[in-house]
A and B are shown apart, each in its own frame.
Chain A
Amino acid sequence: MKTIAELLPEIPLFEGLPADQLELLAGCGRNVVAEPGEYLFTEGRTANTFFALRHGSVGIEIPVPAREPIVVQTLHPGDVAGWSWIFPAQPWAFSGRAVERTRAISFDGACLRGKCEEDHELGYELMRRVAIVMAERLRFTRMQLLDVYGRGEAA
């Protein structure tokens, strides 16, 4: 069975990181499994974890009062979930629910922040990589906002 440090290079976020940095990060991670319908994280709760998906898929949900939640994105193997952990005591902005049986590496946010504070080179590299993920999510969100499949030109 692979160790966390051996699994990390399979996640694009960690690709190419040197072995010593992978070891540091692996010290904050553990394997978790979520069954279909199970929440990995819930909107409003303190965000103290960060997930890297290995198998399965997770729906990112926004709760709607008196109605079913709306799924705004699904994450797939290789994707990461959550950046609220970067800042202490931040709540989750969304909920994440397993669509199918999902295996992920769950990182302790306080532990990761501590490692980044101790090793600024690692901290910079991790933040740079998370920023790329955030920028891509923002780009896709803008595309969703365009509602391109709405009604076309009248004819």
Chain B
Amino acid sequence: MVAARQPEPAAAAGAADAIVPRRFRVLANRQENEDTFTLELEGVDEAGPFEFEPGQFNMLYAFGAGEAPISISGDPAAPGPLVHTVRAVGAATRAICAARPGETLGVRGPYGSSWPVADGDLDALVVAGGLGLAPLRPALYSLLARDAGGGRLTLLYGGRSPEQLLFDAELARWREREEIDLRVTVDAAGPGWTGAVGVVPALVERVEIDPARSVALVCGPEVMIGFSVAALLERGLPPGAIHVSLERNMKCAVGRCGHCQLGPEFVCRDGAVFPYERLRRLFGLREV
């Protein structure tokens, strides 16, 4: 099974460059739903595309307000701007979401491990919940760009309500593509919603899975990850074929401060994407 790529030691070693924010200008800020925004950024002091692997994150810095770890949500193969999708939940993220075109943010990164998207022959089952679709979107771009005749691609996406779903225009476009089997479910809806209502693990039970040649990528709230992993294991997927991305209290992003420590792992340095096999012992432990 293909393992998640491990981070380059340069970022983790604490080289000065790794913790100094660079200036990035806001090119566009689009509201996704009531509290989530997608920002497009370009370097002020640097030219060229921002290179990253699907699943990696940056520390975004709203000057005077604070810093927050935010996954990159754009296409790693596209030469365009750096794209982040941010939910306004605290002082730093509210300030980042309020940034208008022309304003400047600090960016340091990319940090962390990445999703295993290299093996084009495997069936990929992508399971996203809520904002968890954002860190998975770069992986979906890579998987959609695989050569025809490769493995199947399935996206199971759950949200709170139809209004809360991210990237609705893109979901509509993906629905038309043959390369992807897209299934969306919400926790509750009005009668105008023609999609599914229910939880994501219920979708896991309904899709075709070949456990011997599949890899699963799971991201969302940790409770949803736990239930989804349980459903995947029940369908016969080995723990080594399941990869999860965790959201913990990341502060330094280089494995120094210990805020994001999960047992022996530092989520910022060793993750945020982990093979589930590596976390199985820790998953669900209280106070870890």
Contacts and interface: CB of A to CB of B under 8 A. Distances in A.
A147 B187 contact: yes
Contacts, number: 90
B206 A155 contact: no
Interface residues of A, number: 28
On chain B, which size bracket covers the interface? Answer: 35 or more
Given A140-B202, A143-B199, A149 B89 contact: no
A149 B191 contact: no
A152 interface: yes
A72 B188 contact: yes
B197 A72 contact: yes
B191 A143 contact: no
Interface string A50-88: 000000010111000000111111101000000000000
Contacts of A76: 196, 206
Contacts of B18: none
B159 to A, nearest CB: 6
A100 B130 CA distance: 26
A150 B202 CA distance: 19
Contacts of A57: 196
A60 B91 CA distance: 39
A61 B9 CA distance: 53
A72 B206 CA distance: 18
B129 to A, nearest CB: 6
B175 to A, nearest CB: 15
A70 B190 contact: yes
Contacts of B185: 74
A20 interface: no
Interface in B122-156: 129-131
Given A70-B190, A154-B90, A146 B223 contact: yes
B160 to A, nearest CB: 4
Interface string A92-111: 00000101100000000000
A140 B228 CA distance: 12
Contact of A151 (B35, B191, B197, B247): B35
Contact of B191 (A71, A146, A153): A71
Contacts of B68: 155
8 contacts: A60-B197, A70-B188, A71-B189, A74-B196, A149-B187, A150-B160, A152-B131, A155-B90
Interface of A: 57, 59-61, 68-74, 76, 97, 99-100, 140, 143-144, 146-155
Interface of B: 35, 66, 68-69, 87, 89-93, 129-131, 158-160, 164, 185, 187-199, 201-202, 206, 220-221, 223-224, 227, 247, 249
